């Protein structure tokens, strides 16, 4: 299927609280997965603490997937940027993501869905993977597993990658590693001993490392 948007296009998606400000990016036509009609939807960090779809970790994730030939959709949760509504304690935000995913499946029929999220957004992505059929892969960056819901009965329905820095000042890193050990489904961990929550100084390395993992995990699907 031809990509039905410009190479990079701003889109307003109808959501339960009103319009959802979004940005769609075409996957690189020279990327490894070009032509496979895959789309990743990326969720940004906590809206109350300044999180937006333009966060540097989010845009690093965008470039990682885009360069692999995977289409990308970033969006602002309700109350952020031009998105209508106001913060709803992760309840309305999940509904925002589900609305975005429904729209994406209608706009790009037959698309293979992937999910990714950073911090607060990682929980929203994790919860959605159980509510939408056919999610192929999930990437969780700095997931605050002790504050928000993630897995159901210790298992995920898709391939999983977790990215975490040991010196995270907002997420208890050892708690993340202990949580991964409890999972009954496969999870691949990218661990950065010197990285903080926002991965300052490590974003280029994160992009390179995640690229290697995605090449391996997605090629096996």
> Is pLDDT at 183 greater than 70 in this prediction?
yes
Instruction: Work out the pLDDT band at 99, boundaries 50, 70, 90.
Output: very high
> Is pLDDT at 167 greater than 80 in this prediction?
yes
pLDDT, position 115 = 99
Task: State whether the Cα torsion 12-14-18-24 is positive or negative.
Answer: negative
* Chain segment 150-165, per-residue pLDDT in tens: 999 999 999 999 999 9
DSSP 20: E
Do 67 and 31 meet the contact criterion of CB atoms below 8 Å apart?
yes
- Continuous H helices in the chain: 56-67, 91-107, 120-128, 173-182, 203-219
pLDDT (mean) for 63-74 = 98
Domain assignments of the chain as residue spans, ordered by start: 8-219
Q: What is the signed CA dihedral for 31, 22, 205, 155, rounded to 10 degrees?
A: -90
* Chain segment 110-144, per-residue pLDDT in tens: 999 999 999 999 999 999 999 999 999 999 999 99
Question: What's the rounded Cα separation, in Å, for the pair 95 and 97?
Answer: 5
Instruction: Work out the pLDDT band at 2, boundaries 50, 70, 90.
Output: confident
pLDDT, position 177 = 98
pLDDT, position 1 = 62
Do 90 and 123 meet the contact criterion of CB atoms below 8 Å apart?
yes
Question: What's the rounded Cα separation, in Å, for the pair 8 and 2?
Answer: 14
> Is pLDDT at 5 greater than 90 in this prediction?
yes
Instruction: Work out the pLDDT band at 28, boundaries 50, 70, 90.
Output: very high
Tell me the backbone φ, ψ of residue 117, rounded to 5 degrees: -160, 150
pTM for this prediction: 0.98
Percent of the chain with pLDDT over 90: 98
* Chain segment 79-88, per-residue pLDDT in tens: 999 999 999 9
> Is pLDDT at 59 greater than 90 in this prediction?
yes
- Tokens, residue 157: 């329905």
pLDDT, position 49 = 95
Q: Which residues face 152 on adjacent strands?
A: 155
* Domain boundaries 8-219, CATH class: alpha beta
Closest-CA residue to 187 (of 133, 134, 143): 143
pLDDT, position 138 = 98
pLDDT, position 209 = 98
């Amino acid at each position: 299927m031809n990509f039905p948007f410009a190479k990079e296009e701003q889109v307003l998606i109808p959501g339960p609280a009103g319009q959802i400000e979004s940005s769609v990016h075409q996957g690189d036509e020279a990327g490894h997965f070009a032509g496979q009609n895959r789309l990743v939807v990326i969720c940004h960090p906590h809206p109350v603490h300044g999180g937006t779809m333009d966060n540097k970790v989010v845009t690093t994730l965008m470039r990682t997937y885009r360069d692999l030939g995977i289409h990308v959709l970033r969006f602002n949760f309700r109350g952020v940027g031009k998105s209508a509504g106001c913060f709803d304690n992760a309840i309305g935000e999940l509904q925002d993501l589900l609305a975005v995913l429904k729209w994406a499946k209608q706009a790009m029929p037959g698309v293979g869905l992937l999910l990714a999220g950073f911090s607060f957004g990682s929980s929203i992505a994790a919860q959605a993977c159980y509510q939408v059929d056919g999610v192929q892969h999930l990437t969780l960056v700095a997931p605050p597993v002790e504050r928000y819901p993630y897995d159901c009965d210790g298992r995920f329905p898709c391939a999983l990658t977790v990215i975490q820095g040991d010196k995270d000042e907002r997420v208890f890193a050892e708690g993340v590693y202990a949580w991964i050990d409890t999972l009954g489904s496969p999870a691949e961990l990218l661990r950065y001993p010197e990285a903080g929550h926002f991965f300052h100084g490590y974003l280029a390395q994160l992009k390179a490392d995640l690229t290697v993992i995605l090449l391996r995990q997605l090629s096996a699907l």
